[in-house]
Amino acid sequence: MPTFTDPLREIDAASVKEYALQRGAAELSDDFVQEACQRVMELAKPQAICQQCFYDNTSHMVLCDSPFTISSPTACQRIEDSAIVLMYAVTLGEAVEKEVDALFMNKDITRGLALDSALAVATAGYTKQLVDMLDEAGADKGYKAAWIMNPGTGDWPAGQMANIAQAVHAEQIGVSLLPSGMLMPRKTVTGVIGLNFIGGGCSGSCSACAMAGHCGE
C-alpha cells in the first residue's frame, strides 16, 4: 500500500488566522500566527497512505479487508461516476497535538487556538500535496483528480472516517482507532479521491465539456 512521506511544504498564515478567528479567538496577532506555523513545521511528521477503492454499485459497499457501506448518497454518486477512486488517510503525527493540549491545560488559550488552527490548515495543505502527487503520477496515463470528499462534510457522517482508516491500514502511518471510534492523532483526515480520464488535450475542466461524466468510456 503506497505511503507518502514528502516534507510539509508550507502553511498559509492567512488561512490559519481566519480559521482561528472563526473558532472564537477574540484577536490574534500576526506574531502568534507565525509562531504557530513555525512550531507545526518543526514538530510535524507528515505521512499519508492510500489504496484503490473497490466499490460495489449495487450494495454501495467498499470491498476491502474491513468492508463497509458508504452512508453518503453524494459520495456514492461521485464514486460511481469516477474512473478510479482512492481512499486515503493523512496525519501530521501526535507531537503537535500534545503541545496544543499542553497550551490549553496551561490556559494559554490564544496560543492553543493558534497552534490547533495551524495544525488543521497544515493537514489540509498536506492533503493537497498528496493530490498533487497523484496528479503527477497519473499525468502520463491521462488521469487527474476530479474531486475529493471526507466523512464529516456534506451528507457523509463523520463516523466513517474510522472505516476508511481501517480500510487503508492507517496504523502503518501511526494512526490508531480508539474503542470509541475516534482516531488518534485526532487531526487525522481520511477520505476518498476520484480520478477521471482527461487525455492529453483536456484542460481538466468539465463544466463546458461535451464528454462531462463520460470521459474515458
Predicted pLDDT of residue 120: 97
CA distances from residue 139 to 37, 133, 134, 200, 206 in whole angstroms, order as listed: 32, 10, 8, 8, 17
C-alpha cell at 90: 493523512
Residue 207 lies in a domain: no
Predicted pLDDT of residue 63: 96
Residue 204 lies in a domain: no
**Does residue 201 register a pLDDT over 70?**
no
**Does residue 157 register a pLDDT over 90?**
yes
What letter represents residue 139's amino acid?
A
Predicted pLDDT of residue 214: 46
Residue 135 lies in a domain: yes
Give the range of the structural domain holding residue 164, as residue numbers without chain letter: 3-197
Number of separate domains in the chain: 1
Residue 214 lies in a domain: no
Three-class SS state of 11: coil
pLDDT, tens digit, for every residue of 124-152?
999 999 999 999 999 999 999 999 999 99
Residue 213 lies in a domain: no
Task: Tell me how far apart the alpha carbons of residues 46 and 53 are, in angstroms, rounded to a whole number.
Answer: 23
pLDDT, tens digit, for every residue of 30-60?
999 999 999 999 999 999 999 999 999 999 9
Residue 217 lies in a domain: no
Residue 101 lies in a domain: yes
Those residues whose C-beta lies under 8 Å from the C-beta of residue 163, and which sit 6 or more positions away, are 62, 66, 68, 151
> Based on C-alpha coordinates, what's the Rg of the chain?
18
pLDDT, tens digit, for every residue of 66-109?
999 999 999 999 999 999 999 999 999 999 999 999 999 999 99
Q: What is the value of pTM for the model shown? A: 0.89
**Does residue 209 register a pLDDT over 80?**
no
CATH of the domain at 134: 3.40.109.40
Cα 54 versus chain centre, distance = 19
Q: What is the mean pLDDT of the chain?
A: 91
Residue 211 lies in a domain: no
